[in-house]
Amino acid sequence: MDFDFQAVMDAMPRLWEGAWVTIKITFYGLVGGAILGALAGVVRAYVPAWFDKQMIAHRPISGVLLPILSWIAQLYILIIRGTPIVVQVMFIYFALPLAFGLRVDAMTAAIATLIINSGAYIAEIVRGSLQSVSRGLYEAGLAMGLPFHKIILKIIGPVAFRRMIPALGNQCIISLKDSSLFIVIGVAELTRQGQEIMSMNYKAVEIWGAVAFIYLILTGTLALLLKLLEKKMRIL
């Protein structure tokens, strides 16, 4: 069988267009997921999941709301980690419009799904990294009279961030590859473009080989950037 390089060259403009859509979905999904995951991770690490009588007596609102917030974070992580991402995007794209009468376009559904999905996994990465930091640093911040948010941002956060870089990098690569699953709702990302081109010219080996090569470029670039960040953080 002869490999048709011309078929690959002809397909490249559409494949790179799909790759750009994949990059946008991954970028916005991971940025939103990082924010959501960081908040859920901090709640999981430091907010008690039970009601404390002394805390309720001194601060009734916080004493009641904080455990509820912890339960919400735990339930969110449990549901998202326990269901496939394909089911999640199908629910957002097809079920929500029927339930609430809201029309969600495919691109928005894809980004929202990736935010929600990656956020649950990032939350556990953040929780594990924060809890791995010595308790003495937290107590030192309290002894200095620092508020909770400054202890997290100035003392514990930098140490924990160094430890979570490898796991975060792995999650970034997984989310990038997971974006290919949004083909089920018709998002014109890289895999979808490859499928449409292949259905027209029937050059399966050439087209899917090119798609795989572009994914390798994207994941390789991402891995390299994360490696450089990890080295820089070690120096700091």
Dump the DSSP string for 102-121.
----HHHHHHHHHHHHHHHH
Averaged pLDDT score across all residues of the chain: 88
Model pTM score: 0.89
The type of residue at 25 is: I
Check whether 134 has a pLDDT greater than 60: yes
More confident residue, 200 or 66: 200
Q: How confident is the model at residue 30 (pLDDT cuts 50, 70, 90)?
A: very high
Six-digit token string for 172: 């970034």
Question: Which residues constitute the domain of residue 225?
Answer: 5-235
Q: Which two tokens stand for residue 203?
A: 């050059």
Q: Are 224 and 22 in contact (CB under 8 A)?
A: no
CB 107 within 8 A of CB 20: no
Residue 236 has pLDDT above 60, yes or no: no
- For residue 144, the 8-state DSSP code is T
pLDDT at 235 over 50: no
* CA 53, chain centre distance (Å): 36
Whether the per-residue pLDDT at 4 is higher than 80: the answer is no
Of 13, 3, 17, 72, the C-alpha closest to 187 is 17
Query: 178 vs 55, which has greater pLDDT?
Result: 178
**Per-residue pLDDT at 125 exceeds 90:** yes
Overall domain count for the chain: 1
Q: Which residue has the higher pLDDT, 116 or 153?
A: 116
pLDDT band at 153 (very low <50, low <70, confident <90, very high): confident
The domain that contains 149 carries what CATH number? 1.10.3720.10
pLDDT in the model for residue 229: 86
